Amino acid sequence: MFYPLTRTDELKFYSRYFNVVEINSTFYRPCNPKTAEGWARRTPDDFEFTVKVWQQFTHKKDPWTAEEVEEFKAGLLPLAEADKLGCILFQFPASFKHTPETMDRLKSLLEIFADYPKAVELRHLSWGDVLPTLQEFNAAPAFIDEPKFKDSIRQDFEVAPGRLLYLRLHGRKFEKWWRHEHRNERYDYLYKAEELEPYAVRLKSILEDKEIQRAYVFFNNHPGAKAVANAVMLRAQLDIPVKTELPEKFVETFPEVGNNAG
């Protein structure tokens, strides 16, 4: 829908339109340093990567080893050396509740990765007052737009002055969030312009007031290129429209983006 049907370097193609990407593959396995070197080499000088932390640290109950930590950090090094590592993202599951034990685990991870800019996505309601702890370890909360259930975290889209802001929009398909035949059904949602506008207004205010140094916004509603469409729409609302001409088929599928490119 967005990428050419012919064989193409998708990362290079993507970087013609956007200046940052969130790496998801590192959630499943550490990145090979050679792969990261290729990412850095194939993207423009001002392009950045945010990297999702390996699930060994966020989703497993077994303790991690020093070797696993070093293996994961080795995969980040080429991006850091190229000045293209925006931050790392700790994404914890909805079942990760606030207890003394889980707080200790979180603090340990933030200490281990103290040298990296960090964002932390916590989804359970019990983490509502975690901001002071994150600030103590120089980490930012990941704000999440998703269907809200009784145990879902509630967040005010407010930021403390600091290094970064991190926002992830997962879609609002409430009825398919936990009950679906295929996991992609959960994210098969296209935000309307009026649903994005409150975020655009708040983000512009934050950036204009220089409350933070860097803002990262990602859409996870990826089925059918809906994430790309919404990213184009939000950039236009932020007055930083996509400059490169969008693929014709993509614009036909999403007429909403027709007037959103520069």
Q: Domain containing 135: what range?
A: 10-257
- Among 142-151, 176-185, 253-262, the minimum mean pLDDT is found in 253-262
Does residue 4 lie within any of the structural domains?
A: no
Q: Which residue has the higher pLDDT, 112 or 211?
A: 112
Split into its structural domains, the chain has a count of 1
pLDDT(253) > 60: yes
Section 41-50 average pLDDT: 98
Section 170-186 average pLDDT: 86
The pTM of this model reads 0.94
Hunting for tokens 């956007």 — which residue is that?
A: 18
Does residue 165 lie within any of the structural domains?
A: yes
Does residue 162 lie within any of the structural domains?
A: yes
Query: Which pLDDT band, with edges at 50, 70 and 90, does 36 fall under?
Result: very high
Write down the mean pLDDT value for the chain.
93
Reported as a single tens digit per residue, the pLDDT across 112-165 is 999 999 999 999 999 999 999 999 999 999 999 999 999 999 998 877 667 799
Report the CATH number that the domain containing residue 232 is assigned in CATH: 3.20.20.410
Section 192-199 average pLDDT: 97
Over pLDDT 90: what percentage of the chain? 82
pLDDT score, position 26: 98
Cα 5–Cα 8–Cα 13 angle in degrees, nearest 5: 100
Section 197-215 average pLDDT: 88
pLDDT(183) > 80: no
Neighbours of 189 (CB within 10 A): 23
Hunting for tokens 């007037």 — which residue is that?
A: 259
pLDDT(61) > 60: yes
Residue 79, C-beta contacts closer than 8 angstroms, at least 6 positions apart: 36, 39, 40, 49, 51, 85
pLDDT(261) > 70: no
Q: How far apart are CA 235 and CA 21, in angstroms?
A: 14
DSSP tag of 128: T
Query: Which pLDDT band, with edges at 50, 70 and 90, does 262 fall under?
Result: low
What would the two tokens of residue 28 be? 């499943």
Does residue 73 lie within any of the structural domains?
A: yes
Does residue 92 lie within any of the structural domains?
A: yes
pLDDT score, position 153: 94
Query: Which pLDDT band, with edges at 50, 70 and 90, does 211 fall under?
Result: confident
Q: Which residue has the higher pLDDT, 222 or 183?
A: 222
Does residue 2 lie within any of the structural domains?
A: no
pLDDT score, position 133: 94
Does residue 78 lie within any of the structural domains?
A: yes
Reported as a single tens digit per residue, the pLDDT across 74-107 is 999 999 999 999 999 999 999 999 999 999 999 9
199 three-class SS = helix
Does residue 239 lie within any of the structural domains?
A: yes
